[in-house]
Structure 1
Amino acid sequence: MTKIKFGTDGWRAIIARDYTVDNVKRVAEATAIWLKNQSATQVVIGHDCRFGGEMFAETATGIMGAYGLKVFLAKGFVSTPMVSLGVVKTGSDLGIVITASHNPPSYNGFKLKSRLGGPTIPSDVAAVEAEIPEVCSVEPMDLETMEAKGLLEYTDLENIYIEHIKDSFDMDAIRSYGNRIAYDAMYGAGMNAMRALLPDANFLHAEYNPSFMGQAPEPIHRNLTELSEFIAKHDHIALGIANDGDADRIGMYDSSGNFVDSHHILLLLLLYQRKYRNMDGKVVITFSVTEKMKKMARLFGLPVEVTPIGFKYIAEIMAREDVIVGGEESGGLAVKGHIPERDGIYIAFIILEFMAKTGKSIEELIQEVYDMVGPFAYDRDDVHVAEERKQEIIKVCKTEPYKKFGSYKVDSVETIDGFKFIIGDDRWLLIRPSGTEPVLRVYAQAPDLAETRQLLDAARAELGI
């Protein structure tokens, strides 16, 4: 028997090794049992572009039917936010997404979405995990039988989502950009919706290809060099947008093909929501997000909460409090006025509307941010180290924290999730171990990219990695 363990955002495993039809049945049965214990009646199920997505989604659907639960099943691939929004729009109790998000193409996964349209809270995920049987005790109900019994309704989640986007933004203003937008779908589930919403944009990697051409569909610069080069070669492009495999994360580029990281996008979102849309609410960020968010929040008179790393912590706060902007360093961003969910397409449209309403370029808007909080740059190294060495470094961080990194003197240390060394003057280093692989993550912020690299190199020299 394969031991199935849910991570921070659901269960993920390698297809045909551990991610099999039989194991999907087990997880689906556990989910169905948990739902019945909650007196739930309805579930939304969808899959992204990964290999076997339709088969695995239909397997989960059949198990729900065996337990008498009604399923709203997406036809064709959909993004994670489409399922999350579908849960809200159909008044369902849970969403299931067959996706491994930004993981390599050999993976698939099983995400759970709450009735609020965001990640299921950790205690509920743990309760589902506790129900996973050694072997599934029921056979999936035939889908035609389910449909005949009123337990299955095929639902166009993508169209529901597209109409929601149209209702949420000034589409005439956004579409005036025409072919000045470049979009890299990374072979992911956002491709069809973006074609419908921005028909004149320039599209890259927007074909169905479950192999993702062998690359993990994560929207970070090293995976998006083709988009960057395309923008640099075409002077008319004003903005580059990229989404991950299930389109809940975003990467962005300015008109010169320079990467705009999540820290800068978060600051732009807060500026637009507060100054231009006149919204209130708490700012919620994970521990690895730039300190500049705290500075802008203070300037706007807004409260800030810092969470451990993981969007689930942000979603949990959004479920019970008024949050104007929430986000994490890895591209998962959320805003007031939408579901409490990471949504790469929705965030792209906020930035596009911001540009359209102000008549400013992305560079000019970033300068407006800098005028408020000062310029900065950020970078991160994921260093492969032996597990023994990784643990040695963490032990030093815990017991005798590093006092300096090269010429950089440490002023203080914060330990919400990892070890953040505050170096003053808008500089910091964060050392954090991966919980699943022999990798040490080293994050840094400094006034410019050259010094950020210098700070990372100094840290790695001090750590001996």
Structure 2
Amino acid sequence: MNTHLQHQIHHWLQQDPDPSTRSQIQALVDNQDEAALAAMFSGRLAFGTAGLRGVVGPGPMAMNRLVIRQTTAGLGAYLLEHIIDAANRGVIIGYDGRHDSYAFAHDAASVLCAMGITVRLTSQVAATPLVAFGVKHFNAAAGIVVTASHNPPQYNGYKVYWENGAQIIPPHDSGIAAQIEHAATQAIPFMALSAAKDKLVWLNDDFYQAYRDAIRSASVLQQHANTQSVSLAYTAMHGVGADMAETVLKDAGFTHIYTVAAQREPDGDFPTVNFPNPEEKGAMDLVIAEAKKHQTMLACANDPDADRFAVAVKTADNDYKMLTGDQVGVLIGEYLLSHAPAHQRLVGTTIVSSSLLSKVAQSLEASCYTTLTGFKWLMNVGINKCQADNQFLFAYEEALGYTVGSTVWDKDGLSALVAFAQLCAQLAEKGQTVWDKLAQIYRQHGFHLNAQVSIALKPDTPNIGEHLRQHPPANIAGFAVKSRDDLNESLRTFSDGSTAVIDLPKSDVLIYCLENGARVIVRPSGTEPKIKCYYEVVEPMTASDTWLSAQQRAEQAMADFIQAHQASLPD
């Protein structure tokens, strides 16, 4: 075994506090499995704008107690250097119900307390939105939530909020990463929580009640239609959302709630779902079965850390059909805008989400901004765009993430659940269904259909992004390209050759808008031989159209569009 690898392993084993991961590494050393050890110590689990996310296991490439301690030491050093009074303002820490989350959160607290930084640590599991709320509520310097959200059971993660309550964005991600690299070469400060005394504040029930009260009193959630017409089945998907979800629904007047008992309590094994993500096939089966049993209007789900919201809605033939994230986003957005005061009409969405919300906002004389994918961008841009006469109202992305009002500067599946139930109550008062409302929006703005396709490339396929930049298409699928956005160049080029600057961070993304209202977004992968394409078609929905006829036409247009576009790409 080479000397450098031996040194790395020795340094690691000296610091690793976990007997389980230490023994796994020692077994490989004893068996002289140099290949496995070399892979295990080939780098570090990368810290980025999403913090850390990875499989739990030994060594610096996985999620484990030493990686958590090193990461926290790096974060603490960065906060002390960059945020005034960081030590006193402190860091709030919460965690989900995965097997290692408690230990990881307590380790993070011990490191920060040893560095002289005040820690507010939740006394039990907490939904991710509560931690984001807590950063603002306590005016903390930062927040940490230990969660792998909707990833499979073998994963865990470490998500960081900045002092503004939103997820970190550049340059903080790379700045923290550099401090982590340095911390990993040093002895890590550590203080048993039993000795932390004045540096440790336990967040007990009054903190959870503070979030509950904030949702109950939020101005955007004050619509009081008759709630008794709304019934719903709910699942927490073996996560941490159930107690708070049931509570905030009841606070808002919803009493016909039927929770899936088998999925109500936190369980890191996620025994009844293959993949604890409401978007995955089969994940909603139990809650839809519960809805059918009670004939409820809705079948609702949060993902395991309750920052996402999914819903299936009863159809005319007593079945249940999932709404897409885009459909939920436009429904909540339209509902909130129809009630919002004149000074609170700022909404946001991402480049790969439907363009429908921006059209609805324009028709209601509101402003809609568009960001790169991810709530880190939606929220940081939203915060920066807020003005006294144009305050933030709502933002969403198609992957089931929604922010309702400014109680939480991140996606929040709990307040989204309340908002959706309230819009259903209002529709029911008017004798309408969710399907009626969507059809009304589609008749006004066109039937919007969105699809996403990943294309695997052959090893010898030329660089697609480079090819498209050198040979920009004048038309796609027989329709003229009206404009072409190149986010690498921050430039929009129109068909007449004129240009405009795009105010988005540089990213390897190309967007083509066509004369028929369709759009395709091409994202070449920098790390894999594939590209991702996001398609949108818009079909006019006439007075004589039924939902089905408009949908069938849109689906045919989408199939033709995808086929023609992919045929135009280089082999």
Q: TM-score, normalised by structure 2?
A: 0.73
Aligned to 2:348: 284
Q: Secondary structure at the match of 2:441?
A: helix
**Structure-2 separation of matches of 1:461 and 1:232:** 43
Q: Among 388, 394, 397, which residue is 1:328 paired with? A: 397
CA distance 1:415–1:105, shift in 2 (3 Å): farther
Q: Among 321, 339, 350, which residue is 1:258 paired with? A: 321
**Structure-1 separation of matches of 2:282 and 2:457:** 22
Q: Among 115, 139, 154, which residue is 1:106 paired with? A: 154
1:54 aligns with 2:106: no
* CA deviation vs aligned residue, 1:252-277 (integer Å, no higher than 9, x gap): 22213222222222222331222223
Aligned to 1:267: 330
Q: Among 220, 228, 237, which residue is 1:176 paired with? A: 228
Which of 1 and 2 has higher RCO (CA within 8 Å, sep 6+)?
A: 1
Does structure 1 conserve the Cα–Cα contact (< 8 Å) formed by 2:109 and 2:121?
yes
Q: Among 458, 464, 484, which residue is 1:413 paired with? A: 484
1:7 aligns with 2:48: yes
**Structure-1 separation of matches of 2:57 and 2:68:** 11
1:349 aligns with 2:418: yes
**Structure-1 separation of matches of 2:111 and 2:414:** 31
* CA deviation vs aligned residue, 1:125-152 (integer Å, no higher than 9, x gap): 3222221122452342111111x33533
Q: TM-score, normalised by structure 1?
A: 0.89
**Structure-1 separation of matches of 2:472 and 2:105:** 48
Mean Cα deviation higher: 346-355 or 380-389: 380-389
**Structure-2 separation of matches of 1:387 and 1:241:** 43
Aligned to 1:442: 533
**Structure-2 separation of matches of 1:464 and 1:255:** 44
Amino acid of the structure 2 residue aligned with 1:349: V
Aligned to 2:211: 161
- Cα deviation for residue 181 of structure 1 reads 0.9
1:379 aligns with 2:477: no
* CA deviation vs aligned residue, 1:322-344 (integer Å, no higher than 9, x gap): 23322222222223343221111
**Structure-1 separation of matches of 2:130 and 2:314:** 29
Q: Secondary structure at the match of 2:108?
A: helix
In terms of Rg, which structure is larger?
2
**Structure-1 separation of matches of 2:480 and 2:286:** 38
RMSD, aligned CA: 2.9
**Structure-2 separation of matches of 1:223 and 1:210:** 18
**Structure-2 separation of matches of 1:388 and 1:235:** 56
* CA deviation vs aligned residue, 1:45-78 (integer Å, no higher than 9, x gap): 0111222000000000000110111111112221
Does structure 2 conserve the Cα–Cα contact (< 8 Å) formed by 1:239 and 1:362?
no
Does structure 2 conserve the Cα–Cα contact (< 8 Å) formed by 1:187 and 1:207?
yes
Aligned to 1:207: 265
Amino acid of the structure 1 residue aligned with 2:232: I
1:218 aligns with 2:306: no
CA distance 1:437–1:173, shift in 2 (3 Å): farther
**Structure-2 separation of matches of 1:425 and 1:235:** 44
CA distance 1:285–1:384, shift in 2 (3 Å): same
**Structure-2 separation of matches of 1:110 and 1:177:** 40
- Cα deviation for residue 241 of structure 1 reads 2.2
- Cα deviation for residue 385 of structure 1 reads 4.6
Aligned to 1:427: 518
**Structure-2 separation of matches of 1:182 and 1:463:** 45
1:134 aligns with 2:206: no
Aligned to 2:501: none
Mean Cα deviation higher: 183-192 or 198-207: 198-207
Amino acid of the structure 1 residue aligned with 2:322: F
- Cα deviation for residue 223 of structure 1 reads 5.1
CA distance 1:398–1:206, shift in 2 (3 Å): farther
Amino acid of the structure 2 residue aligned with 1:207: E
Aligned to 1:191: 242
Aligned to 2:409: 340
Q: Secondary structure at the match of 2:421?
A: helix
Does structure 1 conserve the Cα–Cα contact (< 8 Å) formed by 2:525 and 2:532?
yes
Q: Secondary structure at the match of 1:378?
A: strand
Matched residue count: 462
CA distance 1:64–1:386, shift in 2 (3 Å): farther
Structure 1 gap ranges (5+): none
Aligned to 1:29: 73
**Structure-2 separation of matches of 1:104 and 1:397:** 36
Aligned to 1:309: 373
**Structure-1 separation of matches of 2:291 and 2:243:** 25
- Cα deviation for residue 435 of structure 1 reads 5.0
Percent of residue pairs bearing the same amino acid type: 23
**Structure-2 separation of matches of 1:207 and 1:455:** 44
